[in-house]
Amino acid sequence: MIEKKLLFPDPSKHPEWIPTHSPEWYAGLNRNVEKYKYPWKSVFDEPTAETIFADLISEHINETSKILDIGCGHGEFTHQFVTKTKDIVAIDIEANFIETAKGLSKNNKVQFQLVDANKKLPFQDNDFDLIYTKKGPWLYEEASRLLKPGGIMLGLFHSGTDGGLRDLFQGLYAPLPLDPYDIEKFEHKYNLNESYGLTNFEIKVVEEVEYLSRPEDVLIKKCFGQNDKLKQYVWQQCLKDVKEIFYQNASSKGLKVINYHHIVCAKVAK
């Protein structure tokens, strides 16, 4: 059998690699930056996944709704709902993000709290009309305890970037582990089933078009949340070839990639 030659070294095999979205990775981001914000330069076609998700939340709330944001980061997304409803609580496990969020919060219209969503949450039963997570942890038993009868849980999950990126930069970017359109596997991965008191699951795939502005952004995206030693290694090993491939394939807007997202909507079964 002929082994397929990888064009780029795989950074996740380097000893300094921190698994993305692990507690260690979030803690490192929290130490080094005050905001959960992507550091690469790019432009998007509208509507973005975030716009679609925000519209969906808005459709389900009115001025009397009480809502909870799980894994709010620095709270920028949360803020857009202050004109839509009065009672908003937002939690995150990272202290720096919560401090930044409180700083951004004009007139303290959102209650930002430092809370671990994997533990019992410090809120009363039947307290919320809607709970959402935008790329943070999904709630299981706690969602059905905290939601009022008829309440709704919404989630936006980022399910990887492709649209040619992984073929162009083989090795640097491994193939997507999950076909975004294989909904059964997606449900299985996140344990999205009716046994946790949630029901009527609706899951849809959203394809978001993004254009990475410069060759460096291919590497910045890959190394988001990694340390300087790892970045130095990746830049040395990859930048020259990444530049060549980037300029062969980019348009004046940049290098087009597709971000796959899943939007999940479930109702509480009580």
33/265 with CB nearer ligand SAM: 33
- Beta-strand relationship, 66-70 and 128-134: parallel
Span from 10-18, 130-138, 191-199, 243-251 in contact with ligand SAM (CB under 6 A): 130-138
Q: How far is the CB of 13 from ligand SAM (least distance, A)?
A: 24
Name residues contacting ligand SAM, limited to 204-223 (CB under 6 A).
none
Asked whether position 20 contacts ligand SAM by CB under 6 A, the answer is no
Residues in binding contact with ligand SAM, number by CB under 6 A: 18
Closer of 36 and 112 to ligand SAM (Cβ): 36
Of 134, 145, 221, 222, which one interacts with ligand SAM (CB under 6 A)?
134
Indicate the SS3 state at residue 82.
coil
Tell me the window of 3-11, 114-122, 207-215, 221-229 that interacts with ligand SAM (CB under 6 A). Answer: 114-122
Q: How far apart are CA 24 and CA 228, in angstroms?
A: 16
Task: State the nearest-atom distance from the C-beta of 248 to ligand SAM, in Å.
Answer: 32
Nearer to ligand SAM, 129 or 142 (CB): 142
DSSP character string of 177-191: SS-TT-HHHHHHHTT
Is 255:228 a contact under the CB 8 Å cutoff?
Answer: no
Element (H, E) at 103: helix 95-104
Q: Taking CB under 6 A as the criterion, which residues in 49-108 touch ligand SAM?
A: 71-73, 77, 91-94, 97
DSSP 93: S
φ and ψ of 262, to 5 deg: -115, 135
Please identify the residue of the shown chain whose CB is closest to the bound ligand SAM. Answer: 71
Largest alpha-carbon pair distance within the chain?
66
SS3 call for 12: helix
Among 96, 99, 138, CA closest to 117: 138
Contact flag: residue 14 with ligand SAM (CB under 6 A): no
Exactly one of 32, 51, 80, 118 binds ligand SAM (CB under 6 A); that residue is 118
Binding flags for ligand SAM, 153-192, as an x/- string (CB under 6 A): ----------------------------------------
φ, ψ of residue 183 in degrees (nearest 5): -65, -35
